[in-house]
Amino acid sequence: MPSVGVKLYSVFFKFLLKHRLQNRIQSSGDESSSDPFGVTTRPEESVAAPNPLFTDGVATKDIHIDPLTSLSVRIFLPESALTPLEPSTSACVYSESRRNSYGYTTGSSSPEAGSSDVYRGYAPSSSGGNSRKLPVMLQFHGGGWVSGSNDSVANDFFCRRMAKHCDIIVLAVGYRLAPENRYPAACEDGFKVLKWLGKQANLAECNKSMGNSRRPGGEVKKSEVNKHIVDAFGASLVEPWLANHADPSRCVLLGVSCGANIADYVARKAIEVGQNLDPVKVVAQVLMYPFFIGSVPTQSEIKQANSYFYDKPMCILAWKLFLPEEEFSLDHQAANPLVPGRSPPLKFMPPTLTIVAEHDWMRDRAIAYSEELRKVNVDAPVLEYKDAVHEFATLDMLLRTPQAQACAEDIAIWAKKYISLRGHEFSY
């Protein structure tokens, strides 16, 4: 059984969550609460500031990628990316220069003292030819559709852990929350980031093929931007960390709680568009205690409906806030992965690791989905953690427990089968 501390914290957590959900329901009827631009975090959320220095082995930066919405990403770059392919002293530099929209700059090498826009973070070398390429992970946070954020203290800690354990660049997606933006906003935001990643890779390759001597992300004349780089999301420059270190052909999706539903949606959309995403290739996905539900209850939904942290009545409230009123159904395609008629066929889904907790009422449906994937020969193992609760590896109070650490290590071992370069795979 969970510890006494976990049980007490669960009671407190559920009280606050119920209060917040009820407030969201009361405000959702107000037309002014609907805002296409949306919000990606709540005032009560404790957030971690980005740090472009490798103070703990991972550098971070925030990027707003869509001018029409609040959609953003936080990039987590592990220090291992600085290891050159061959011995070299030109793998990286730390820059003190003028900031552009990505937080990376060149320009003045000796900025004025006391200037507020001085940037002292990691900046890739001008050549970039000796840079190490790492796989990319798109991470979708949890929070029951209405809360949570990609830059929360807990999510920042978790993503740093994954970046180091998996030796991977993590893009934590700040998708729009409900009820300000209902389905499919959050799911489409996830897919937008995947397309943005592909566009960034193509723009970087375009720069390279044109023999542009400037550093990726450096300042260019307006005429050069118009001539060479066109980005549907309004970004006029190549993101330098991704241009120098990302290998989008080894892309993993990881979703936490309701974020797992988003990851599954993005995986299906990626299959539907196929080669239009090149060079991005989704090679695997990790679903951590998915936020699945259905009208016909499973055994765990009956026996553990009042389980820790997220009980069934509160989750139903969250789904009412997320789904449009005219579409509300527990068998909605975003809620129930087992409903017939979902496309594409399951046999085309990427390898899928499912993480479940013993004391999570949603566990059985996640296991059943994994079983359906295995029936069509998709590599879809399930890792179940004894005495664990929903969000046992990502909730702020539980992040430093042995179970949370073991879960991260288990994910890394499995994921490296699909993201490691040939000859360097881990066995599982």
Q: What are the catalytic residues?
A: 257, 360, 390
User: What SS3 state is found at 330?
Assistant: coil
Nearest to 188 by CA among 294, 82, 112, 261: 261
CA distance 49 to 38: 21
Q: What percent of the chain is helix, strand and coil (3-state, nearest 5)?
A: 35, 20, 45
| Peptide bond preceding 179 in cis form (omega within 30 of 0) | yes
Q: How far is CA 285 from CA 214, 294, 314, in A?
A: 36, 22, 27
Q: How far is CA 316 from CA 148, 263, 335, in A?
A: 17, 20, 10
Residue carrying structure tokens 């991260």: 408
Q: Are 159 and 165 in contact (CB under 8 A)?
A: no
Give the number of residues written for the chain: 428
Q: Are 134 and 369 in contact (CB under 8 A)?
A: no
The DSSP bridge pattern shows strands 246-256 and 169-174 to be unpaired
- Tell me which DSSP letter residue 152 carries: B
Nearest to 414 by CA among 298, 307, 227, 254: 254
